[in-house]
Amino acid sequence: MCWRKIMAAGADSLKQLTLELGGNDAGIVLDDADPKEVAPGIFATAFMNSGQVCAALKRLYVHDSIYDAVCDEVASLAKAAVVGDGADPRTQFGPVQNRAQYEKVCAYINDAKANGKVIAGGMIPEGPGFVLPLTVVRDIEDGTAVVDEEPFGPILPILRYSDLDDAIRRANGSEFGLGGSVWSSNVQRAQALASRLECGSAWVNQHAAFAPNIPFPTCKQSGIGVEWGMEGLEQFTRLQVINISKQ
């Protein structure tokens, strides 16, 4: 990977590095969440910039009791979205950035069709450009490419769970650790669970909520160091201790 080459290039002089890399952010929807209330936030942060954001919500775990309702709500929003040429003022979601990524996302869409049930999008259009529909897939499992890897495109797999500890284990079972989120009508309960996610940023009832004064840390294969906030500025400083004798 290119980032390993960057680390290797800095090794000779022991350069300090800050690397913010990829992510496969998981969201967990608790059984007390209202599907209609959480769906717009989930949809917006899964498909922001057509899914081409490192900290976009890329896989969603939903409790069995509200699984069907959440799937239906998110799929309805995806079907209603206007996808097309970014120069067209009617367009809400633009194309994938380049041909290589377009072909990669097409492969993930085919993986979703083979291993789950596509309930929105899924059809690769003919014609010029790299436009792909917002795709939602349900009844899919961990271990498939579209769940375990980072598609970096307009596709969201929604997975079912019944045991919360199992959902957290599955959410944490990724080599990435950029961000994660918990969605619930009980903020205190969600906050306690968010602290168990193995990621640099854990959000409650939102995802990918950024501000320049809030640190944006990384962990696992998602990077090294911190961006933004005072902690981010300190990444570019060097600590010096001046220790003076009392004599």
Active centre residues (catalytic): 20, 54
The residues, any chain, with a CB within 8 Å of residue 145's CB and separated by 6 or more, are 107, 108, 111
d(CA 191, CA 174): 21
Q: Which two tokens stand for residue 216?
A: 């944006």
Cα(36)–Cα(72) distance, rounded to whole angstroms?
Answer: 10
The rounded distance, in Å, linking the Cα atoms of 239 and 178 is: 26
* Distance, CA of 102 to CA of 133 (rounded, Å): 12
Question: How many CB atoms are closer than 10 A to CB 245?
Answer: 4
- Helix 35-46 crosses helix 67-80 at what angle (to 10 degrees)? 50
